Amino acid sequence: MLVRAVFPIAFLVFSAVCSHDVEFTMQRHHEDMRTDGACGEISCRYGRNGVNVTRIRMNEVKVIGKDSHLLAELTVEAPSVDSVSHGYEIKGKLSPGQLGGKIEIRLLNPSACHHGVFSCDVTYDDENESGLTDMAIMGPGLLDKGTFEETNKDTDEESTSTEGSTKYGDNCFRLVAQFSEKTATIEQNLDYKIDRIERVLSKRNDHVTDKLAEVERAMSAKLTGLESRFDEKYTRLDTRVDARLDKSSKELLEQMGRVETRLSQDLSSYSSQCTDLQKQLDDVNWKEADEQATVSQLKGEIQDVVGSSKFSKAVNQMKWETTHKTQRPIEELLDEKKEINDRRCM
């Protein structure tokens, strides 16, 4: 027998199964955490090796063992369903062969979440027999004593209204009722704890909000003080920089004036020196021109002298005298040398 119970903060899950293989679960959302208008979901799944599922039915049970309303049915001829009716959003699929099937129903009506009772009937064939049935029943409405007492009185007489109920009888319903009572107690405790946690969180949230506001005010005051100090220091610094800039500008202008005066004086001195040098150069040029004229005149006079007959005669006379004066002493020297040689031979 498979029995489940899961209780996270976001929702509550009730599960009570009076079968070996039917997986039947119910999930109910917390009041403050409903999504898409649904207050809960129920799901019925069946699948087992060696079993061929032929039908899955989901019922809303009015009185256990006596009255029920069919919500969804999957068969081999109609293996899928997808519809919305009477506060239920239904989806299901029956797979061929031994893959099993599943029906899921979203509960849109709060009364079904708080007071509903639901059953899941599965018909299947195995290797030995056909037409076998498993059944599971669950829901918060099982806590209704009138419903449960009426079920206990009439179970044997009206058991044929729901397939599979004769297989497990009153023991299954008694277990479901006990489980539902325990679930209700847990739900009440959980609601109380959730409310308490919400109050604690609210107080802590208020405390944190106050602290954040206090920190924000302190930071705002510090920021204002820092801005004032920054503005004051910036103003002083700006004044000092302006004063230094003014002083530096004046000193720079004075230095530039002195440099300009010196440059003007140096330029005047260089200009007068250039004028003197130009005069000297002109004088030198004039002297050079006079010397060239004198040299030209002397050259002309020399050429005139060289070209005259007197000059030629004088040159010829000098050549004759030079030749005879040098030739005679040589002949005399040769005669003396010959005499000396003759004496040596004797």
Mean pLDDT by 10 residues, the chain (346 residues): 34 46 73 62 82 88 74 89 87 82 88 83 86 82 52 41 42 58 73 85 88 89 88 86 84 87 86 86 85 81 68 71 63 73 68
Q: 89 forms bridges with which residues in the sheet?
A: 84, 106
- Please check whether residue 25 is in contact with residue 11, taking contact to mean a CB–CB distance below 8 angstroms: no
Using alpha carbons, select from 9, 3, 40 the residue that is nearest to residue 187. Answer: 9
Q: How far apart are CA 157 and CA 66, in angstroms?
A: 9
* CA–CA–CA angle 290, 292, 296 (5° rounding): 115
For 41, the 3-state DSSP assignment is strand
pLDDT at residue 129, rounded to an integer:
84
E-only strand ranges, 171-231: none
Residue 151 contacts by C-beta under 8 Å, 6 or more apart in sequence?
Answer: 63, 64, 65, 66, 173
Q: What gap in Å lies between CA 70 and CA 62, rounded to an integer?
A: 11
Rounded to 5 degrees, φ, ψ at 136 are -135, 145
- Taking the C-alpha atoms of residue 13 and residue 26, their distance in angstroms, rounded to an integer, is 5
CB 305 within 8 A of CB 311: yes
